[in-house]
């Protein structure tokens, strides 16, 4: 065979295509996650020292969360003009949260009793100590009344300077109702809040460019500090937890999406950048502002997004719910404690309370598990030392499951309220209407006034959105 007749080798990708791929945020985050894991594995001490990169990125996003929630909720409620509708949205969201959280806990309980990842460890309880555990895990935990009172901030501005979501949501709802009741006097402020929200989302877009660096630092710290050996020792628990979370997402959340006329996998593709950021940082908090913008772009109204999504960060932590049941029963199995069905159901009832209010930050699920063990004395709190080393490896699954669950919940509540543009949602999830990360390009999803008789209603469907005077700005990912 002559040289000219030889089979052609693999065709290299055009440089332009490679550059375009590298400009996508999700590709950059994926590179950051893989590079961080490699650095943490090859140079553990150096990887552990990179923790400030991840912490700094999370801190930058966290400082934006309170004002973004405030502006979104205030403008949404002030524009909605119907206090009864806001109450109805809140009630439907809370019922949904409670049902799905219970389903997640029951699934975790069934799996851990079938797989029995803790059986055979035969740990002597006398050898356990709380030394080395986070201080929050060994402190006394607040009662239900204390939790409710903690939602009320000391002053109106203090809610915006703290790190808790529920106080911000409370003052935002009150302020939105106040502007609504003020009539003409509040119209100017409402318009100003809308403009401020556009500025905030522009800042968020800039900050999110640092996401690959944050994911790199956080993953390097995780692998460098805890190592893959720790993961190998308790791989059965970690593996069964990840698979249970995957089952919950694909089956339970997939069913919810199907019931509401949408599909889960296109939705996961739509939020792939956010999922990679969560995977890298082990926290769902950094993606809250972007999730609010993306859900509005997908056709959910601003009031529903503003109320449902932030509330879900405290009341709808599906990943944490699975973790609580699996973690507590695993510890009982490891210590040789035989929990009866009644005792397990009692723990589940307590978990329905201890899982609420846990922020979407790294380690919150571990603290919620400590609160559960403190409230139900079947398993000693010191047993947490058995899983403290691998908790970080389960934190990613907790955060990923909770982010997906809250996105699905928001779309479902919007559909039930008639506040979801279904045609637009399907077009967005198909990729026909690209997400543009600038506020001006967002789809207006506020409730429209009833059309005047004899007047043709404005076209607000996907075709109208796609047919703007300018091309869509490339998404930040």
Lowest mean pLDDT among 49-58, 288-297, 463-472: 463-472
Please indicate, yes or no, whether the overall pTM of this predicted structure exceeds 0.75. no
Lowest mean pLDDT among 57-66, 336-345, 353-362: 353-362
Query: According to DSSP H, which parts of 151-210 are helical?
Result: 158-161, 165-182, 184-208
Instruction: Give strand pairing partners of 420.
Output: 300
Q: What is the dihedral of CA 152, 154, 157, 162, to 10 degrees?
A: -70
**What percent of the chain has a predicted confidence (pLDDT) above 90?**
17
Kindly list the domain boundaries of the chain, sorted by start residue: 23-436
pLDDT in tens, 197-224: 888 878 877 887 888 888 888 878 877 8
Whether 7 shows a pLDDT value over 80: the answer reads no
Q: What is the pLDDT at residue 201?
A: 78
Q: What is the pLDDT at residue 111?
A: 92
Instruction: Select from 309, 300, 308 the least CA-distant residue to 447.
Output: 300
**Secondary structure (DSSP) of 367-407:** HHHHHHHHHSTTS-GGGGGGTGGGHHHHHHHHHHHHHHHHH
Distance CA 225, CA 361 (A): 18
Q: What is the pLDDT at residue 251?
A: 95
Mean pLDDT of 62-82: 76
CATH annotation of 23-436? 1.10.3860.10
More confident residue, 473 or 381: 381
Q: What is the pLDDT at residue 229?
A: 63
pLDDT in tens, 113-138: 998 887 766 666 655 555 555 554 44
Distance CA 218, CA 36 (A): 7
Instruction: Give strand pairing partners of 300.
Output: 420
- What are phi and psi for residue 148, nearest 5 degrees? -65, -45
Give the C-alpha distances (Å, rounded to integers) separating 222 from 115, 229, 349.
27, 12, 32
């Amino acid at each position: 065979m002559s040289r000219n007749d030889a089979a052609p080798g693999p065709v290299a990708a055009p440089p332009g295509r490679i550059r375009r791929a590298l400009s996508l945020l999700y590709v950059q985050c994926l590179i950051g996650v893989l590079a961080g894991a490699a650095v943490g594995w090859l140079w553990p001490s150096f990887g552990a020292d990179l923790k400030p990169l991840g912490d700094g990125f999370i801190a930058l996003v966290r400082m934006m969360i309170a004002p973004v929630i405030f502006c979104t909720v205030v403008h949404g409620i002030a524009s909605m003009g119907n206090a009864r509708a806001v109450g109805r949205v809140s009630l439907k969201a809370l019922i949904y949260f409670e049902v799905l959280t219970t389903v997640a806990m029951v699934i975790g309980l069934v799996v851990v009793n079938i797989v029995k990842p803790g059986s055979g460890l035969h740990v002597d309880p006398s050898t356990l100590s709380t030394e080395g555990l986070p201080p929050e895990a060994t402190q006394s935990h607040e009662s239900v009344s204390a939790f409710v009172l903690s939602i009320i901030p000391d002053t109106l501005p203090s809610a915006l300077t703290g790190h808790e979501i529920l106080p911000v949501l409370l003052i935002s709802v009150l302020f939105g109702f106040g502007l609504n009741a003020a009539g003409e006097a509040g119209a100017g402020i409402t318009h100003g809040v809308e403009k401020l929200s556009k500025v905030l989302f522009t800042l968020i877009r800039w900050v999110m460019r640092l996401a690959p660096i944050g994911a790199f630092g956080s993953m390097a710290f995780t692998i460098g500090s805890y190592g893959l050996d720790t993961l190998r020792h308790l791989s059965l628990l970690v593996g069964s937890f990840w698979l249970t979370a995957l089952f919950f997402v694909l089956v339970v959340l997939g069913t919810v999406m199907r019931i509401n006329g949408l599909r889960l996998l296109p939705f996961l593709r739509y939020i792939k950048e956010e999922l990679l950021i969560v995977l890298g940082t082990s926290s769902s908090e950094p993606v809250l502002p972007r999730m609010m913008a993306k859900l509005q772009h997908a056709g959910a109204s601003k009031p529903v997004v503003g109320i449902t999504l932030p509330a879900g960060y405290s009341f709808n932590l599906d990943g944490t719910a699975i973790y609580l049941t699996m973690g507590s029963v695993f510890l009982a199995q490891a210590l040789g404690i035989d929990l009866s069905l009644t005792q397990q159901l009692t723990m589940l009832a307590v978990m329905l309370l201890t899982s609420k209010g846990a922020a979407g930050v790294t380690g919150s699920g571990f603290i919620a598990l400590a609160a559960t063990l403190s409230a139900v004395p079947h398993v000693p709190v010191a047993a947490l030392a058995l899983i403290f080393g691998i908790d970080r490896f389960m934190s990613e699954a907790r955060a990923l499951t909770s982010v997906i669950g809250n996105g699905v919940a928001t779309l479902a509540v919007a559909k039930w309220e008639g506040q979801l543009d279904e045609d637009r949602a399907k077009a967005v999830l198909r990729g026909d209407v690209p997400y543009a990360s600038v506020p001006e390009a967002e789809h207006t999803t506020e409730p429209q006034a009833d059309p005047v008789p004899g007047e043709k209603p404005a076209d607000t469907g996907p075709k109208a959105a796609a047919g703007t005077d300018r091309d869509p700005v490339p998404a930040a990912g």
